[in-house]
Structure 1
Amino acid sequence: MILTKENVIAKANAASKNTLMETLNIEIIDYGDDFLVARMPVNSRVHQPDGVLHGGATAALAESVGSFASHIFIDTEKFFIRGIEISANHIKSIKEGFVYAKATFIHKGRTTQLLDIRVTDEADNLISVCKLSTISLPKKS
């Protein structure tokens, strides 16, 4: 199978069935040589009690897009990815619409990866800044 943008996006979204990503309606929407973008609707399913986007949902979006980005750039026949640390700084609240998470690599090593994930709203306002560390682990034979 030739890796096209559409194939990568379709494969990522298909892998999300019956997962937290499906529960939160997280969808991969764009991909390039060094980035991956996902979006998530902001509605009552991801609100905290006062009606704004829950920071935990934002962190779940960031870890999902960052882990998928690391996954795309490794040999998945030999390795799997796990998140090992995530941090999130929430800058602005949002009540409705969509948030977009764009993961870009700060470091793309063979064993560890470090990603910057910017979460924005539909008007490109910064909602959160996240950093994710992932590790590539060998699959057992």
Structure 2
Amino acid sequence: MTDTTPGHPRTTADWQRAAAGTLLERTGIELVEVGAERTLGTMPVAGNTQPAGLLHGGATATLAETLGSVAAQVHAGTGRAAVGIELNVTHHRGVREGTVHGTATAIHLGRSTAAYEIVVVDDDGRRVATARLTCMVLGTP
């Protein structure tokens, strides 16, 4: 998907390149689709586990906040910034291997805030976590 907002990365590949050297790169998060209404991404379980071998809840939260924040930044547009102000995550099941897939779906796209529900599933489509992210949109519209 392509973002047509001037000054923003224009394609999903551009967004991925912008993530070089960040937490996204270290966790292996890949953006699949980027848009204000919906953003999708994946993250490998390997390298993102707790000592017991399960996907770390913080890694799941990182995926959720990443997807919602990217979507909110697209919504914010050029010359504005979106910053997370609240994140909550409910973990439903553990994952030991494979990839998790997240979808951030807009709940509210306002002038000063944007809110997203982020659903994270495993390779078999089973829900791993549900998150909600609220971002404040800074700058003049």
Give the structure-1-normalised TM-score: 0.89
Identity rate, percent: 35
Unaligned runs of 5+ in 2: 5-9
Secondary structure of 1:83's partner? strand
- Alignment-mate amino acid for residue 46 of structure 1: N
In 2, the alpha carbon distance for the partners of 1:120 and 1:80 equals: 28
Decide which of 40, 43, 46 is 2:43's aligned counterpart: 40
- Alignment-mate amino acid for residue 23 of structure 2: L
Please list the CA deviations of residues 46-72 of structure 1 after superposition, one character each: whole Å capped at 9, or x if unmatched: 111100000000000100010001111
Secondary structure of 2:104's partner? strand
CA offset at residue 33 of structure 1? 6.3
In 2, the alpha carbon distance for the partners of 1:26 and 1:2 equals: 19
Q: Which residue number in structure 2 is paired with residue 88 of structure 1? A: 89
Q: Which residue number in structure 1 is paired with residue 70 of structure 2? A: 68
Instruction: Work out whether residues 92 and 129 of structure 2, in 8 Å CA contact, stay in contact via their aligned partners in 1.
Output: yes
Give the structure-2-normalised TM-score: 0.89
**Structure 2 vs 1, CA of residues 41 and 106 (structure 1 numbering), >3 Å: closer, same or farther?**
same
Please list the CA deviations of residues 2-51 of structure 1 after superposition, one character each: whole Å capped at 9, or x if unmatched: 83xxx4201210111010000001010124562010100011x2111100
CA RMSD of aligned residues (A): 2.1
- Alignment-mate amino acid for residue 43 of structure 2: M
Secondary structure of 2:114's partner? strand
Q: Which residue number in structure 1 is paired with residue 7 of structure 2? A: none
Q: Which residue number in structure 1 is paired with residue 21 of structure 2? A: 18
CA offset at residue 122 of structure 1? 1.2
Task: Report how many residues are paired.
Answer: 136
- Alignment-mate amino acid for residue 64 of structure 2: A
Higher strand share: 1
Secondary structure of 2:76's partner? coil
Secondary structure of 1:95's partner? coil
